[in-house]
């Protein structure tokens, strides 16, 4: 069994063992639908193989030709030799199924299908794709596609794609980037971006519709190559989340970061993904939460994908820390303050020791700070561009450094690169170089030296800083994967199924140790009067039934009832309102509760995504949750410290501190509720949704004023 086989079978034992080596490292290839014209698809595949001097056997199938470029052709797949490793099918969509059946008969191990018109085209195409997938699975054929652009294996010189691919010898040693993308054009663009930066690419795999093999399968194979320093990935749907997460964890254990661009955060983005590759997009926010928790480096744009991938290929295990910046421009210094705050990149405050070292590098009149503006000092002393960065990197809480400056004359450009490149070469933290000026041409020797050194190089400080923000988030997530996970200590049981009425949900919260108002159920007005006397006025009354998930909308909640007379009147109004809105609805009863003390309304919730599992949510509650959607998502297995940190990232975080005469809120109490709810979700897989809204938070403690549970 090959490494690829072992990897696939270990993580997905229900899948027949597929020899992905036969697909990715074939010793024999058949081109079905071969053509002589270089601009044709068949001619493009053959031309690429010949340009790379592919050493294996090439077999051509053509109905109309006896030979192409001096190579003999056969008329059908049935005439091919047995046990060819991979067949590239360049035939119409309607002929794909019959062609694959013929491949099965000849013992062919893998097929690459370029043809479109399958799941991305609608229901009929999806049914045909499902039939194709079933045929390949049952026959043990590794299928790449359909609707794909194939792949290029640079180490072995195998370009099974129709797009023109340049022959690029790989360095004898050194780190490489591997690329996996559902979009063929995006896969090519990542390759272009890496090559433009002088970074070797090992594999470029365009997976298309992923009828059987998805990005997760190929990632799990690519991490076994020790030369791969990072994997760039573009997906529109992760079809097997469990397998993807398993592969990602193994990649992390090997120190290989995965940089992922996944569109679909908007409704129209999800629709575009579906029409493009037939993806049935899940909940994007949940996916992001789970992947960040597993230290996947998520990016939002193609620029960030290129930039973060380039940096992580050189510094694959960044440590948590803030940013340090050296510049020779006061304008850049000022812009850094604003821009870093906007994108959430923390700038380090220099320690007294580092500040003193920096001050020793410049005249007394130069102000030392971070960003550090050296002004005109570099004209007389170009070495300061390197020495200042080296000093910054000595500070423990600085995780990366940016050198951003105007280029100057060719002689000065080279002097600056001569100063910074040795510092970069010795650095264990990311060092990034930026020369402003957009496309203004730079000295050829300078550019050759920069490219040969491998230092991440940018022409825009904002683009560099955005990449650094993503690197910082990745470093934090990577460090957090080593933190201890909370132990399950939940004994609460959620009764019943479907929507669980509030009164039953609050019993569950109380069993979890979450505070709820004192209350009693009443089935008559006399019961209500007695309960209110025991609880003490003022009270709240709430209609209770599984069918009343939103009681306020039907007049099922009346607050601030001051005495018995008001309670009797409120009782009648409540029942009249519910009867009018929900004729014939039988209530379980009415919940009589004490009026809560004023506080800040928060929401704490949880949901179980069918693909990704449970997550918890915390944010501004009451009506504000729908109005401004200020909330943070976390994995269910979260910690108190992490919840508190996420609360600080809310838009309304200032409301949690002292605000307009109000005391600071008990953020620890909020965090305790979130952690307990996450533990409940992990312990009971039948719970699909929980909503505590509002959670009333005071200076001390938090009380759940409402609770909605939904069970499968």
| DSSP conformation letters of 485-538 | PPPP-------SSEEEPHHHHHHHHHHHT-----EEEESSHHHHHHHHHHH-SS
d(CA 155, CA 226) in angstroms, rounded, equals 12
pLDDT at 11: 35
Pair 90, 112: CB distance under 8 Å: no
Pull the structure tokens for residue 218: 């190929």
Q: Could you tell me which residues are beta bridge partners of residue 228?
A: 176
SS3 of residue 85 by DSSP:
coil
Other Cβ atoms less than 10 A from the Cβ of 550: the count is: 10
Pair 9, 17: CB distance under 8 Å: yes
d(CA 320, CA 389) in angstroms, rounded, equals 18
How many residues in total does the chain contain? 712
pLDDT at 6: 34
d(CA 96, CA 119) in angstroms, rounded, equals 14
Pair 151, 179: CB distance under 8 Å: no
Cis before 538 (ω within 30)? yes
d(CA 310, CA 289) in angstroms, rounded, equals 24
d(CA 440, CA 459) in angstroms, rounded, equals 9
Q: Which residue has the tokens 């510094």?
A: 315
Q: Could you tell me which residues are beta bridge partners of residue 400?
A: 323
d(CA 466, CA 389) in angstroms, rounded, equals 19
Q: What one-character DSSP code corresponds to residue 404?
A: E
State the 10-residue block means of pLDDT for the chain, 712 residues long. 36 52 97 95 97 97 95 98 98 97 98 96 95 97 97 97 93 86 97 95 97 96 94 95 96 97 72 42 81 96 97 96 96 96 96 96 94 93 95 97 93 95 97 94 95 95 98 96 76 86 95 96 97 97 92 93 97 96 95 94 93 93 70 93 94 88 92 95 93 94 95 90
- The burial of 319, by beta-carbon neighbours within 10 Å (0-12 exposed, 13-18 middle, 19 or more buried), is given as middle
SS3 of residue 582 by DSSP:
coil
Q: What one-character DSSP code corresponds to residue 77?
A: G
Pair 94, 132: CB distance under 8 Å: no
Exposure string for 491-530, b = 16+ CB within 10 A, e = fewer: ebebeeeebbbbbbbbbbbeebebbbbebbbbeebeebee
Residue 320's contacts (CB-CB under 8 Å, 6 or more residues apart) are: 399, 472, 475, 476, 479
- The burial of 654, by beta-carbon neighbours within 10 Å (0-12 exposed, 13-18 middle, 19 or more buried), is given as exposed
Q: What is the CA radius of gyration of the chain?
A: 31
Pair 404, 463: CB distance under 8 Å: no
Give the Å distances, CA to CA, from 536 to 291, 300, 506, 507, 520. Answer: 49, 54, 20, 20, 12
Give the Å distances, CA to CA, from 421 to 328, 418, 453, 538, 552. Answer: 17, 6, 7, 72, 65
Q: Which among 316, 330, 433 is positioned nearest to 375, based on CA atoms?
A: 330
pLDDT at 16: 44
Please provide residue 311's backbone torsions phi and psi, each rounded to the nearest 5 degrees.
-70, -45
pLDDT at 268: 60
Give the Å distances, CA to CA, from 12 to 215, 217, 222, 244, 660. Answer: 14, 9, 16, 10, 56
Please provide residue 377's backbone torsions phi and psi, each rounded to the nearest 5 degrees.
-60, -35
pLDDT at 111: 98
pLDDT at 277: 37
d(CA 255, CA 636) in angstroms, rounded, equals 25
């Amino acid at each position: 069994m090959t490494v690829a086989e072992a990897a696939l079978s270990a993580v997905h034992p229900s899948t027949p063992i597929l020899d992905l080596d036969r697909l990715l490292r074939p010793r024999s290839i058949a081109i079905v639908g071969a053509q002589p014209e270089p601009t044709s698809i068949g001619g493009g595949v053959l031309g690429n193989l010949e340009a790379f001097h592919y050493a294996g056997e090439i077999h051509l199938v053509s109905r109309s030709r006896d030979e192409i470029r001096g190579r003999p052709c056969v008329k059908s797949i049935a005439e091919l030799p047995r046990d060819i490793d991979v067949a590239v099918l360049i035939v119409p969509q309607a002929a794909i199924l019959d062609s694959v059946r013929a491949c099965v008969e000849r013992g062919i191990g893998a097929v690459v299908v370029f043809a479109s018109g399958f799941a991305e085209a609608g229901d009929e195409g999806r049914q045909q794709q499902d039939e194709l997938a079933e045929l390949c699975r049952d026959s043990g054929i590794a299928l790449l596609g359909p609707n794909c652009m194939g792949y290029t294996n640079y180490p072995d010189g195998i370009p099974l794609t129709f797009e023109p691919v340049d022959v690029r010898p790989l360095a004898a040693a050194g780190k490489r980037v591997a690329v996996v993308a559902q979009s063929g054009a995006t896969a090519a663009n990542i390759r272009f971006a890496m090559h433009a930066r002088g970074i070797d690419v090992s594999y470029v795999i365009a997976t298309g519709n992923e009828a059987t093999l998805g990005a997760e399968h190929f990632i799990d194979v690519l991490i076994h190559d020790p030369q791969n320093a990072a994997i760039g990935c573009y997906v529109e749907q992760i079809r097997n989340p469990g397998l993807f997460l398993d592969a990602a964890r193994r990649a992390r254990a090997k120190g290989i970061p995965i940089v992922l661009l996944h569109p679909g955060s908007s409704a129209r983005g999800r629709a575009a993904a579906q029409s493009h590759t037939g993806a049935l997009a899940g909940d994007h926010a949940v996916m992001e939460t789970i992947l960040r928790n597993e230290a996947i480096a998520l990016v939002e744009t193609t620029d960030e994908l290129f930039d973060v991938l380039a940096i992580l290929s050189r510094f694959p295990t960044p440590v948590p820390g803030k940013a340090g910046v050296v510049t020779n421009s006061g304008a850049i210094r000022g812009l850094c303050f604003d821009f870093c705050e906007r994108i959430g990149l923390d700038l380090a405050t220099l320690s007294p020791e580092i500040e003193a070292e920096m001050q020793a590098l410049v005249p007394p009149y130069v102000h030392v700070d971070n960003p550090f503006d050296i002004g005109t000092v570099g004209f007389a002393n170009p070495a300061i561009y390197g020495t200042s960065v080296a000093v910054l990197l000595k500070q423990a809480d600085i995780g990366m450094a940016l050198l951003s400056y105007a280029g100057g004359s060719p002689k000065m450009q080279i002097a600056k690169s001569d100063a910074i490149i040795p510092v970069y070469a010795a650095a264990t933290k990311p060092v990034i170089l930026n020369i402003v000026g957009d496309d203004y041409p730079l000295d050829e020797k300078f550019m050759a030296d920069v490219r040969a050194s491998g230092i991440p190089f940018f022409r825009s400080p904002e683009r560099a800083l955005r990449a650094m923000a993503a690197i910082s988030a990745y470093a934090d997530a990577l460090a957090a994967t080593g933190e201890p996970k909370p132990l399950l200590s939940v004994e609460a049981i959620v009764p019943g199924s479907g929507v669980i009425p509030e009164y039953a949900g609050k019993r569950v919260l109380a069993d979890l140790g979450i505070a709820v108002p004192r209350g009693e159920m009443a089935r008559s007005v006399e019961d209500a009067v007695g309960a209110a006397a025991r609880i003490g006025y003022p009270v709240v009354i709430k209609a209770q039934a599984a069918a009343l998930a939103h009681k306020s909308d039907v007049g099922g909640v009346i607050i601030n009832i001051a005495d018995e007379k008001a309670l009797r009147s409120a009782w009648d109004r409540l029942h009249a309102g519910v009867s009018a809105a929900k004729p014939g609805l039988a209530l379980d009863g009415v919940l009589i509760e004490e009026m809560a003390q004023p506080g800040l309304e928060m929401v704490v919730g949880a949901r179980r995504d069918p693909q990704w599992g449970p997550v918890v949510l915390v944010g501004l509650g009451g009506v504000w949750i729908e109005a401004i959607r200020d909330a943070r998502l976390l994995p269910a297995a979260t910690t108190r410290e992490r919840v508190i940190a996420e609360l600080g990232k809310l838009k309304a975080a200032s409301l949690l501190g002292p605000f307009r005469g109000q005391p600071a809120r008990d953020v620890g109490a909020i965090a305790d509720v979130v952690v307990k709810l996450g533990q409940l979700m992990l312990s009971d897989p039948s719970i699909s949704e929980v909503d505590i809204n509002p959670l009333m938070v005071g200076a001390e403690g938090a009380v759940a004023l409402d609770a909605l549970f939904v069970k499968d």
